[in-house]
Structure 1
Amino acid sequence: MAVVPMFPLGMTVLPGGVVPLQVFEPRYVQLVQDLLADDTNPMEFGVVMIERGHEVGGGDIRADVGTMCRIADMRVMPGDRFAVAIVGAERIRVVGWLPDDPYPLADVDIWPDDGDPPVDIAERIDELHDRVRRLNQSVLDMGEGAPPPDAEISDDPRLAIYHLASLSPLGAVDRHRVLAAPSLAERCDVLRDALDDADAVIEFRRSSGGSSG
Structure 2
Amino acid sequence: MFPLGSVLFPAMPLPLRVFEPRYLQMLQDLLPDGPAEFGVVLIERGQEVGGGEKRFDVGTVCQVAELKVADGYLALLGEGTRRIEIVEWTSEDPYPRARVRDLPPLEWDDDLQERFDQTEALVRRTLARASEFDDLSWSPSVQLSDDPVDALWQLAAIAPLGALDQLRLLRCRTARELVDAIFAATQDAGETYDARGL
CA distance in 2, matches of 1:107, 1:146: 32
Secondary structure of the corresponding residue to residue 78 of structure 1: coil
1:108 aligned residue: 100
2:2 aligned residue: 7
1:57 aligned residue: 50
Distance 1:48 1:143, change over 3 A: closer
CA distance in 2, matches of 1:34, 1:146: 31
2:66 aligned residue: 73
CA distance in 1, matches of 2:135, 2:45: 28
Are 1:170 and 2:165 counterparts? no
2:16 aligned residue: 21
1:205 aligned residue: 196
- Number of residue pairs aligned between Structure 1 and Structure 2: 198
1:128 aligned residue: 119
Instruction: Specify the code of the residue in structure 2 equivalent to 1:206.
Output: G
Instruction: Specify the code of the residue in structure 1 equivalent to 2:80.
Output: G
Cα deviation, 1:41-87, whole Å, max 9, x if unaligned, reads 311111011111111122111111110101111111233x2111111
**TM-score of the superposed pair, with normalisation by structure 2:** 0.92
CA distance in 2, matches of 1:145, 1:108: 32
Cα-Cα RMSD: 1.7
2:129/2:190 contact within 8 Å kept: no
CA positional deviation for 1:119: 5.0
Cα deviation, 1:1-25, whole Å, max 9, x if unaligned, reads xxxxx10101000001112111111
Give 1 or 2 for the bigger CA radius of gyration: 1
Distance 1:106 1:144, change over 3 A: closer
Secondary structure of the corresponding residue to residue 120 of structure 1: helix
Q: Name the % identity.
A: 42
CA positional deviation for 1:94: 1.2
2:142 aligned residue: 151
1:134/1:149 contact within 8 Å kept: yes
CA distance in 2, matches of 1:146, 1:13: 13
Cα deviation, 1:83-130, whole Å, max 9, x if unaligned, reads 11111001111111101120011111111146x545521111101100
**TM-score of the superposed pair, with normalisation by structure 1:** 0.86
Structure 2: gaps of 5 or more residues: none
Structure 1: gaps of 5 or more residues: 1-5, 208-213
Question: Comparing 144-153 with 43-52, which one deviates more in the overlay?
Answer: 144-153
